[in-house]
Structure formats: C-alpha cells, structure tokens
Structure 1
Amino acid sequence: MPETWDYTLQIPNDLRAVTVCRRTLRLILTLHGLTGLVEVAELLATELVSNAVRHTKGPAALRVRRSPEGMVWIGAWDTNPVPPDPPRALEQVGELEEGRGLGLVVACAEVWGWQPSARFGNTGKFVWCELVAA
C-alpha cells in the first residue's frame, strides 16, 4: 500500500500566491518521490488556484493528498459556493489564456470534479482533480 499524506496551504486572494502554490506542490511531490508527476501537477494546480484567486474575493487554499489507492488529489478551495462553469474543449479555446483552465484539467487528469465545502469559517467549494501516482 502506498504512503498516504495530506497537505493544505492557506493562501490570500493574491495572484502571487499561485507561484507559491506551484513551488510548494513541486517540493511536496519531489520529497515524496513523485517527480514524474511534477510538471502536469504544477499545470493543473496553477489552473485551479488561479481560478480560485481570480474569481473570488476571499481567501483560498491548495490541498494535496495521496490516497491509499495511490492517487494524488489536488484541490483548490475558494469562498464562492457556485459551481465552476463547465469546461470547454481545448480546441474551442485556441491560443486564448481565458477559459482554458478546466479544459486543461479535463485533458490531463484522470478525473475531476467540484464539491461544496466550508473552511476557515467560510462557505465555498473545492475544485479538484486526481492523477495516478504510478
């Protein structure tokens, strides 16, 4: 059975926090011997966290955990309880930066979703994805 772990990084509503999350995620995965996941995990976490910071006014959080089944779960929590817009296919987005986030998550993750979640005294949601940590 794989080693399990769970990290949560609370972040302010500041786009600079996206870089902090990306670097923290790289360190977590590297320390746990999952360097093969770093690039795709950083891409997905960047999309999830930047959406959380851009589309809300409150605090946010990055949560990363490894399940007993060997999956790496990456979630971004924000204070907006409204579901995310449905992802658009990457072909529909083209070279635009806007609107590609969840399309990248769908294309790169094994599974993704969202769920309502209250944290830090606020209602909100987690938008999450899972990667196989083979």
Structure 2
Amino acid sequence: MTVTTVDRPATAVYRLTAPAIVTTPRVAREAVVAWLRAAGHGDALREDARVLVSEVVTNAVVHTAAPRLTLEAEITDAGVRVRVWDGDQRGIPRPRQRCADDDEESGRGLRLVEALSHTWGVTWTGGVEPAGKRVWFELRAAPRGAGT
C-alpha cells in the first residue's frame, strides 16, 4: 500500500494491487472502508463505498482476463474517488440496456454504481503502459454535522 499527497494536503491516495481472484472483492471493499473510517467519514459513505467497490472489483475479476488489478482511493473531506484498473483491453463496461430479471444472478452491478455514485465512468488506457481500463466512481460525503 502506498499513501501519497496529491494537490491538496487534505487528499490521501491509497493503492492496493491484488490478484484478480474471488477473494479480492472482499479484501478491496474492506480496505476502502478502513481508509474511509480512518479519514473520519461516516457510515452512509462507507456503506455506499463498500457496495460499489464490491461491484466494480467483482466485475474486473469475473469479466476480464487480467491476472491482477489495482484499486486506488483518493480520499478528501468532501468524499472519495475510487478507480479500479485492470490490464484487459477488451471492451468497455456498460450497464445492461434492460434490467436484470428477478431470477438472474448478475447484471445489476453497473446499475447500482449509476444509482449510488455522484458520477462514474470508464477511462480507457489503450496502448499507454500500463494498457487496460479504469472503472471509476465518486461518492460525496454528507456535510460535517449532518449525521454519520
């Protein structure tokens, strides 16, 4: 794990590089929750981050051929921006055009990201080393004193 200061002293950037295996979503979501707790963010932001990290990391593990992924969380007093990079250059993740049926086990992840995040997207890193893509989202914190 690397911690760096970016632009403002109140910004901490945490990185976790992990194998793209079935246990990584749990490790990633617990790491982000711990980082947010250490930064003093409340339960609502931490819970939304837990759900969304789980979704984007699970997508990288299940839908790519990448052997590893890198999660980056940029935390400020205003909230968090999370990026998940994988080295798979195939396709851009998109929400399904139709809603998943009740009996389907997948197909809701990016809809959740769309619904819970302030903003989200995909950044294609193309031929730039390291090649691949980053799926990212931002969550904004409730103003201090507005509850936890």
**Do the two structures share a fold, i.e. TM-score over 0.5?**
yes
Answer with 40-49 or 73-82: which moved more. 73-82
SS at match of 1:52: helix
* Equivalent in 9, 12, 15 of residue 5 of structure 1: 12
Q: Which runs of 5+ in 1 are unaligned?
A: none
Q: Which has the higher helix share?
A: 1
Q: CA deviation at 1:2?
A: 8.3
Aligned match of 1:113 in 109, 121, 124?
121
- Aligned Cα root-mean-square deviation (Å): 2.2
Deviation at 1:84, TM superposition (A): 2.8
- The alpha-carbon deviation at position 76 of structure 1 amounts to 1.0
Displacement over 4 Å in runs of 4+: none
Q: Note the alpha carbon deviations across 1:20-60, whole angstroms, 9 max, x for none.
A: 11111111000000133111100000000011111222211
Equivalent runs, 1:1-134 vs 2, <5 Å: 3-36=10-43, 37-57=45-65, 58-67=67-76, 70-88=78-96, 92-95=99-102, 96-117=104-125, 122-134=130-142
Return the offset for 1:83. Answer: 4.0
- Is this contact kept in 2: 1:83–1:114, CA < 8 A? no
1:46-99 alpha-carbon deviations (Å, 9 max, x no partner) = 00001111122221111110258x24101111112234342137x811433311
**TM-score, normalised on structure 2?**
0.78
Question: Which one has the largest radius of gyration?
Answer: 2
User: How many equivalent pairs are there?
Assistant: 130
- Give the secondary-structure state (helix, strand or coil) at the position aligned to 2:120: strand
Q: Letter of the aligned partner of 2:13 in structure 1?
A: D
Contact 2:99-2:107 within 8 A present in 1 as well: no
Identity %: 34
Structure 2 unaligned regions, length at least 5: 1-7, 143-148
